[in-house]
Structure formats: structure tokens, C-alpha cells
Amino acid sequence: MADIIEKPAVIDPPPNLRDYDAMFGTFKWQDAYDRIEWFEDGTLNAAASAVDRHAESSRKNKVAMYWEGESAEKYTFLELSSLSNRFANVLTDIGIERRDRVFIFLPRVPELYVSFLGILKTGAIAGTMFSAFGPEGLYDRLHDSGARYLITNSKLLERVQGIRDDLPDLERVILVDGTDHSGTANAADASDAANAANAADVAENDVIYSEAIASASRKFDVARMSPDDPAFMLYTSGTTGKPKGVVHRHLAIAQQHATTEWVLDLHEEDIYWCTADPGWVTGISYGMLGPWSCGSSIVVHDGRFDPNIWYSMIERYQVSVWYSAPTAFRMLMRAEGAHRGHDLASLRHICSVGEPLNSEIVYWGIRTFGLPIHDNFWQTETGGILIANYPSVPIKPGWMGKPIPGIKAAIVDEAGKEVSRGVEGNLALLPNFPSMMLTIWKNPAKYEEYFMGGWYLTGDRALQHEDGYFLFIGRADDVINTSGERVGPFEVESALIAHPAIVEAGVIGKPDPLRGEIIKAFVVLSDGYEPSEELEAEVRRFVKTRLAGHAYPREFEFVETLPKTRSGKIVRRMLRAQELGLPIGDVSTLE
């Protein structure tokens, strides 16, 4: 079959979907709280809502997590519940108190997931960090949060040693080592861990995870929390300044649960793979809490990105719902054909978040898996999905979709006034949804800066079509002003990657005396293409037919890679800094 398909402007939902409209009805968040069976006397605990609820039901022996790293393991809801109880007991024994900050600095090993749940169960606040962070990124987070305990392994501990003396609040390190991830160690494993820990130069009162957890009770009296009590925090980098500690409440699980059902279309029998690391909010809200609260089995892959490995994961675990990011999809597109030879028939629904989803990726999904990719929009600060192509709405490729029930999104001008449909402006939300951040840690002034006239401002530019769909234009700081016209990088990048030779593009505004800014495109070529003047000329001809004259990039540069955050976002401000010879900063500390 030819690899050419139609590129429809609208893709209708599949027939026989469950009745979303009836489900939504005249939805109000209060209805969701009333419906949530895990609320007791107005209190809850997100870890119990996500996992213990199932461990106490007929689902207790159902697999909650299929884990694959250097070996493959699986954990039932009952096992996850008992292990996290044990870990909560370990923390209690060393004196943890409610609201203490406990940070996790681990690769995606099972202990990361167990300890996250265990921390929540004690009423403390869990913080996560990418295992790729270096000392600077670690220091910013551990120092600002005043973290009391840090969970890491002896290899990563080396990056902490140089800053440990400058972290007066950090009392103890809990060291995860050894190969028995279930933590109910046999003696040999515990002694391996102890040896590794000794080699790592631990402090006297540090704790060896496997030893401590093996002797801890599997029963724990889970802390009952008020809906607005903090549960977890993550640092997010703005365009300037230090990363900010975004704090989320236990109640956020109400939105994570609802949107996992509505947007990710997760049913209890699904096998679900969220490729995001828990160092990024997606890996928490939709990598753990949302899907577990729905009783689904999750798949975790602790390893590097490789198209073959990824497709084998889907095949081996019969993944039915897959949640990933445009950057990963683009890398898979680049390895065009790598899916052949893998049976991917288990896939039923695919979603994307984190960056604008170029329509080309949606069409690639249809071509490759027979399924369109569903875009959705949210942020670290919002804790849960806000705008989405949920399964029952037709997809308009290139558009983010519509606000989910219970969310009021709008486009506002600089004075906070709603603009007409079709007019570009600031994407804003009424901040009355449960997964909205509680605060910015120790920085209420920063928190206040997000609001204007009752709206929460996302920092993104967008427009809303007459039909209610939202179109992403760009981060406010990335929008280009050329000859008096505003151009969003997404539009230009999407036109570029529609050319088969281009897999990825980053577009910036470059100061120009005549036009204010001119558009410069950095492009990464697909496998099998080499930079040449002919190719550049051809790409120029190609984009000229797809973009308005003023949006046409005047400068081109072929590059091997684009600077990205740990969660895979193109960092256009780095491209700009590089171009202008300004200090670039350390991209490895960005989430």
C-alpha cells in the first residue's frame, strides 16, 4: 500500500464510543467529589485513592505495574500497597512529620514508585527530580524546598556529595541499591546494598532502603488529609530566574482520575504506557495517580529511547493506551518503518502532551498505527489536563481540542479582557479546578504573578475558533514579531516538518534593523538526508507554498539536534541565545 493517505482537516471519532456526553452531562467538580468513593469525612489521601482502594478490593491481585529495566518485574495493587506502607513506616521511624519535603532522585526503578506513594501516605510532600540532573539542578531544588530526606542510589549520590554541606535541612539520605527492587530483600541483596552504600561514602545516619523496608511492617495507618493539603511538588523553570516549586494538593487526584477516564479513555482492563519520567508532572499525574486510580495496569520502562525497544514494549505488554510527547513521536517518525515486524494491534488510543502536536504527527499516527494521535494541553502548574481532543470529539489536526468539562478557558488581552473568537491573545483559565496548584513554594509573590482579573494566565499565546477549538501559537516569549506581524513558531515549524526531509525544526526571531525580527529556522534532517544547497532550495520552495509571505523563514540552518528540556521540549530561547552569542545556561537543569 502506498504510504500516502489523505490529510483530512477533521477526523471523526470512532463509532460505538461510550457515551461521553451523557457522562459529562452538566458536570460540576462538586459532582466528582460526591462521586469519589474514597472520600471519608471530607478527608482523603491520594496514595490510598490511587492504590490502596484496589488492594482492598477484588482487584488486589491485579498487576498495577509491569516494570522493565535490567530485568522485568510486576507488582500487584496489593504488593504496591504493602510496600508503600512499609516505606511509610520507615519514614515514620526516622521521625517524618506532615509537610516535610522528601525528594526522590532515582532512575525509573520500582522504588521510585513505591517511595512516592509511601511519602504521600505519611502526609509529607513528595518531590521528584530527573536522574539526569547535575549538582546545580539538585541544589536549587533541595535547598529551596528545604528537603529533609533524599531518596537516591549510591551512583547518583556522588552528585549530591559536593553540595551536601550546603543543604542544612537535609538530614538523611535513603539509599536504594541492589537488584531486588521489591525491597523485601534476602540477606545477600541487603548486604550487596550495604556494600554499595559503604563504597558511596554515606553519612552515619543514612538509611539503606532494602534493610529498612525488609524489617518494616506492611501495615500502616495512612494519614487522612484535607483536600487542600499538599501532596507533591515539582520545580518548573520559567524563562528567567530559578526554577519555581509548584505545590499540588491531594484533591488533585479528582481531576487526574476524571481526565484519565475522559481524555486518555482508560478503562480498568487497559494496559497503559505513559512514557514520561516522574521528574516531569506528566509522569506523576498520568504516570501513576490517574491511571492507578482507574484500576488500570501501567507499564514502566527504565531505559533509553530506542524505536525498536519502544515498539517491543507495546508488543510485549499488549499496551492498549499510550501517552507520550511530540518529541518522542517525531523521533519515531524519523525511524520510519521501525514499527514493521512488531505486532502493535493491541493499541486502541494514543495521546500526546508537552508541546504543540504538529498535524503531520497526527497523520503519521494514522499511517503507522491506524490511529490518530490525540493532543491535549496542560502544565506543571495545572496538575491535570485542561484542553483536549477527547475521544468523542472530532480531531482537527494541529488544534489542541476543547476545554474538558469543568474547565473554563478563554483568550484574554493584556488587560485581562476576553477577546473575540479567532483573535490571538493570552490563554487563560478560571482557576477553580481541583488540580490547580496550591502555591509556589515559599514564594507567594511569584504565585500571584500568574493571575489577572480573576484569570490564571498560562504564559501561552493561543486563539479560539468559532467552533470552540483552541489553537496553540507559542509560549508568549517565543512569538516572533516580524514586519509588524506576529508569527508563532509552531506554525512555521509545522510547515517545515511537513517536508519528508525534515523531522524536527526550531524557529526563532532574530533581531533585524529593517523588520524588527526575521524568522530563522533550525532544522534537523530525517535519516537518509544530507544538508545541501539543493535541499535547502527545495525546502524553501515547499514552505513558501504553505506559509504566508511574512511567516517564511529567511534564514535556515541545518543542525544535528535541537536543545531540549528533560521532558523533551525544544528550548527556543537557547537557540536564540546561541544565535546572538549570549550566555546559554545549563539546559541539563531544565525539566
Q: Is residue 350 close enough to count as binding ligand AMP by CB under 6 A?
A: no
Stretch of residues binding ligand AMP (CB under 6 A), selected from 45-53, 66-74, 166-174, 373-381 = 373-381
From the CB of 378, what's the least distance to ligand AMP, in Å?
A: 6
Among 177, 270, 460, 504, binds ligand AMP (CB under 6 A): 460
Q: Is residue 236 close enough to count as binding ligand AMP by CB under 6 A?
A: yes
From the CB of 38, what's the least distance to ligand AMP, in Å?
A: 26
Instruction: Give CA–CA dist 305/220, Å, rounded.
Output: 37
In the complex with ligand AMP, the residue whose CB is nearer, 338 or 476, is 476
From the CB of 560, what's the least distance to ligand AMP, in Å?
A: 24
Among 45, 458, 464, 589, binds ligand AMP (CB under 6 A): 458
Amino acid identity of residue 57, one-letter, is S
Among 277, 375, 491, 493, binds ligand AMP (CB under 6 A): 375
Q: Is residue 482 close enough to count as binding ligand AMP by CB under 6 A?
A: no
Q: Bridge partners of 202? A: none
In the complex with ligand AMP, the residue whose CB is nearer, 337 or 468, is 468
Nearest to 500 by CA among 1, 11, 4: 4
Q: How far is CA 51 from CA 77, 158, 214, in A?
A: 6, 33, 21
From the CB of 567, what's the least distance to ligand AMP, in Å?
A: 6
Instruction: Give CA–CA dist 415/241, Å, rounded.
Output: 25
Angle, helix 489-497 to helix 533-544, in steps of 10 degrees: 120
Q: How far is CA 470 from CA 152, 327, 417, 459, in A?
A: 41, 21, 17, 15
Sort strands 172-175 and 207-208 into parallel, antiparallel or unpaired. parallel
Beta-carbon contacts of residue 227 (< 8 Å; ≥ 6 apart): 33, 42, 43, 44, 249, 250, 251, 434
Q: Is residue 472 close enough to count as binding ligand AMP by CB under 6 A?
A: yes
Instruction: Give CA–CA dist 480/463, Å, rounded.
Output: 16
Among 133, 317, 322, 377, binds ligand AMP (CB under 6 A): 377
Q: Is residue 424 close enough to count as binding ligand AMP by CB under 6 A?
A: no
In the complex with ligand AMP, the residue whose CB is nearer, 135 or 459, is 459
Q: Is residue 380 close enough to count as binding ligand AMP by CB under 6 A?
A: yes
Q: Is residue 113 close enough to count as binding ligand AMP by CB under 6 A?
A: no
Burial of 369 (0-12, 13-18, 19+ CB in 10 A): middle
495 within 8 A of 481, measured Cβ to Cβ: no
Beta-carbon contacts of residue 398 (< 8 Å; ≥ 6 apart): 357, 358, 359, 362, 471, 494
Residues 525-544 that bind ligand AMP (CB under 6 A): none
Q: Is residue 140 close enough to count as binding ligand AMP by CB under 6 A?
A: no
Among 327, 435, 567, 589, binds ligand AMP (CB under 6 A): 567
Stretch of residues binding ligand AMP (CB under 6 A), selected from 98-106, 110-118, 327-335, 457-465 = 457-465
In the complex with ligand AMP, the residue whose CB is nearer, 472 or 522, is 472
Q: How far is CA 50 from CA 256, 349, 451, in A?
A: 10, 22, 31
275 within 8 A of 402, measured Cβ to Cβ: no
In the complex with ligand AMP, the residue whose CB is nearer, 295 or 509, is 509
Stretch of residues binding ligand AMP (CB under 6 A), selected from 97-105, 194-202, 265-273, 375-383 = 375-383
Nearest to 5 by CA among 524, 359, 322, 315: 359
Burial of 22 (0-12, 13-18, 19+ CB in 10 A): exposed
Q: Is residue 355 close enough to count as binding ligand AMP by CB under 6 A?
A: yes
Number of residues engaging ligand AMP in binding (CB under 6 A): 20
The DSSP symbol for 419 reads P
Nearest to 115 by CA among 174, 61, 169: 174
Q: Is residue 400 close enough to count as binding ligand AMP by CB under 6 A?
A: yes
From the CB of 99, what's the least distance to ligand AMP, in Å?
A: 23
In the complex with ligand AMP, the residue whose CB is nearer, 317 or 323, is 323
Stretch of residues binding ligand AMP (CB under 6 A), selected from 55-63, 160-168, 262-270, 354-362 = 354-362
Stretch of residues binding ligand AMP (CB under 6 A), selected from 16-24, 377-385, 516-524, 573-581 = 377-385
Q: Is residue 290 close enough to count as binding ligand AMP by CB under 6 A?
A: no
| Coil, helix or strand at residue 298 | strand
From the CB of 213, what's the least distance to ligand AMP, in Å?
A: 32
Q: Is residue 379 close enough to count as binding ligand AMP by CB under 6 A?
A: yes
Residue closest to ligand AMP when measured from CB atoms: 380
Q: Which three cell numbers stand for residue 353?
A: 502532551
Instruction: Give CA–CA dist 91/79, Å, rounded.
Output: 18
Q: Is residue 263 close enough to count as binding ligand AMP by CB under 6 A?
A: no
Stretch of residues binding ligand AMP (CB under 6 A), selected from 75-83, 329-337, 453-461, 573-581 = 453-461
Query: What is the contact surface with ligand AMP in residues (CB under 6 A)?
Result: 236, 281, 353-357, 375-377, 379-380, 400, 458-460, 472, 475, 567, 591
